[in-house]
Amino acid sequence: MEKKAIFGAGCFWGVEAAFRQLDGVTRTRVGYAGGTTENPTHVYPTAGVYTVSLTVAGPDGSNTQTRNDYLTVTTPTPGATSGTGLLDGDWAASAANVDLPGVGTSDWAKWPEYVHSASGLAQISDATVTGNAAVAIDSGDPRTITWSNGYPTATGASHEALSVSGFGNGFRFTAAADTTTRTLFIYVGLQHGTGTLTARLSDGSAADYVSAYSGWGTRDDGVYTLTYRAASSGQTLSVDWTQSGTSQGGSISLQGAALVGSSIPAPQP
């Protein structure tokens, strides 16, 4: 039976490293606790690049961490038509194994090699690098990706993922979009840092979806689930997965994506 213990510490990364050496410890995760506001939010009224600060206060004093140029706020796409498109999503912590064809009934893709459904018409594109960092292959992801009916590799199983380090570096890929409502699952991970996922419809018919999560342990895998629909045919959904905060050489990773609900045209005779 697994049990969870919570400890208060000063330099919690050093404490975490010590806990990892203890027999019986299966997982560690560090961060802040004890706040009084649940899911705090802030609205930035104008576009620009913003510096943010976090202050933690207690009986023995306070501590403030500041990140310069941490957030970039953009204006809505000109000509966007409110209410005609749809783009929403959520994130869940999960390192569960995934059978891509079982999830992505319309198309799927896995990385670091771009293997995709042989019958999905490449509705999910290959991933490209954003930023200026060199791409690495992370071969130790706890999540196993399995597939069949793939191209160019028909079947397989893999723990590998694309990985990149450094603030502002990441990956981008696209998925087909039209007036059909679709669901896109994106399998990501990070360690010692923060990743931000930004999704945008090419016709600007719905507000961008932006979500970030942090993980200060050796590995924090997650799944983003996006539901979307464009206002017209022939559009795309672009997805950016970017390292937006880092510590101790942190990195983000991209392992796979699966698409449900698209309309695939019948083959020509």
Do residues 135 and 164 touch, judged by C-beta distance below 8 A?
Answer: yes
d(CA 180, CA 182): 6
d(CA 252, CA 256): 13
Structure tokens at 165: 């380090």
Q: Which residues are within 8 A (CB) of 37 and not within 5 positions of it... i.e. 6 or more apart? A: none
d(CA 79, CA 60): 52
Q: For the chain, report the end-to-end CA distance as a whole number of angstroms.
A: 59
Q: Report how far Cα 87 is from the mean position of its chain's Cα atoms.
A: 16
Positions marked active-site: 11
CA torsion 189-190-194-200 (nearest 10°) is -30
H helices of the chain, in order, are 12-20, 100-103
The DSSP code sequence of 111-127 is TTTTEEETTTTT-BPPP
One-letter amino acid for residue 164 of the chain? V
